[in-house]
Chains A and B, each alone.
Chain A
């Protein structure tokens, strides 16, 4: 789950985070133009093409399909089955009779496209660039009294902290917990007690660093916003490809 610095990002084609975000939003809106099954196939091919152009990999496609299935598709079909069961057991079923499976699947695929575009954006854009861009976008909020910059600064700080803490936690606490939960002599109550001891020690040790963290947060506050909009060859290609895609799908609706 936690992969702050991945090889994927280094391999990815560099496109300005702001321009990429706008294009991602436009593509997400374009997915709603898909009104037939053929449109969905075209859009999926287009997304695969973008995935390859951004030098992402097929593992990313599988990962997204699996997480989408667990979070959306599985609950939907279990819900559908249970509603069918209820309708058989009790007369006057509430929802099953009103469900149009074809429309529901079309909707699910469209939502998957939006899901996929969002995750593709995030997996091919360095987090630092996204935070810098957000800092710029939310800067008017700071003058309005909403401390957006402060919270973004906290996010950056936590991300850098986690990079260091992760391996220490895995080596110490995770190993201890693994040892407890593989010990068959311990009952569930003893295991909970042991786990809470690990957590208490961990939390207590971490809270002892409050002063140190406070000083480091103060030092990191002066960094300021570093985002500058850049338009180079990559950005122009990305804009041209996206505009062609949008015009293609818009044209299909217009001339239908």
Chain B
């Protein structure tokens, strides 16, 4: 696939990630807590890790965060979403490429969700310069395991199905 075609795939996947996150309106979160989201857009990050390279995955994550910030008029959420998105993509990519025999897609998704929440709380704590926020992290990590398992299950089924149908160019 040449670079321009790859850019077209990146554009499609970013659109998909933003649209898929709309499904969070109908998919219930098991435990409703302020700030806890399912993170269905993570499915697209996992697909990018499975079918594209690290650079393209990071482009997808960064552009998606910028576009969501522009659309939701919440530019100030950008440092949080970028920190969470980039760290989780990097860690998931490392685990997927270096330790594939140890972790399934579900496991990778859980690791990604944990990394995402850790990065976001650390960013909030750095901005406020208050380490006390880190006490909230263990609670969030419990939810991250649950949401990571849900998105991981859907991602695993999606990756299997895409492989079976030979969809990816």
Contact = CB atoms under 8 A, between A and B. Distances in A.
Contacts of B128: 72, 76, 104, 107-108, 111
Interface in B126-157: 127-136, 139-140, 150, 153-154, 157
Given A76-B132, A162-B19, A213 B154 contact: no
A80 B18 contact: no
A82 interface: yes
Given A79-B134, A127-B70, A217-B4, A210 B12 contact: yes
Contacts of A108: 128
B74 to A, nearest CB: 6
A44 interface: no
A121 interface: yes
A166 B70 contact: no
Interface string B71-108: 11111110010000000000000000000000000000
Contact of B169 (A121, A165, A210): A210
Nearest to B35: A70
Query: Would you call the interface of chain A mostly helix, strand, loop, or mixed?
Result: helix
Given A181-B27, A192-B157, A203-B47, A71 B77 contact: yes
A11 interface: no
B123 to A, nearest CB: 10
A2 interface: yes
A75 B16 contact: no
A202 B140 CA distance: 31
B153 A75 contact: no
A4 B71 contact: yes
B23 A174 contact: yes
A250 interface: no
A184 B71 CA distance: 34
Contacts of B14: 154, 158
Nearest to B25: A174
B8 interface: yes
B73 A123 contact: yes
A196 B70 contact: no
B135 A210 contact: no
A207 B167 contact: yes
A54 B48 CA distance: 41
A206 B12 contact: yes
Interface in A67-90: 67, 69-72, 74-76, 78-80, 82-83, 86
A50 interface: no
A158 B162 contact: no
Interface string A45-60: 0000000000000000
Interface of B: 4-5, 7-12, 14-16, 18-20, 22-23, 25-28, 34-35, 43, 47, 59, 63, 66-77, 80, 121, 124, 127-136, 139-140, 150, 153-154, 157-158, 161-162, 165, 167-169
Interface of A: 1-4, 67, 69-72, 74-76, 78-80, 82-83, 86, 94-96, 99, 104, 107-108, 111, 114-115, 118-119, 121-123, 127, 130, 150-151, 154-155, 157-159, 161-162, 165-166, 169-170, 173-174, 177-178, 181, 192-193, 195-197, 199-200, 202-204, 206-207, 209-211, 213-214, 217-218
Given A80-B132, A158-B63, A207-B167, 5 more contacts: A83-B132, A122-B70, A154-B14, A181-B28, A210-B8
A-B interface, 6 closest residue pairs, ranked by CB to CB distance from nearest: A196-B157, A214-B8, A82-B135, A79-B135, A115-B76, A79-B136
9 contacts: A71-B77, A76-B128, A80-B135, A82-B136, A165-B19, A193-B157, A196-B161, A207-B9, A207-B167
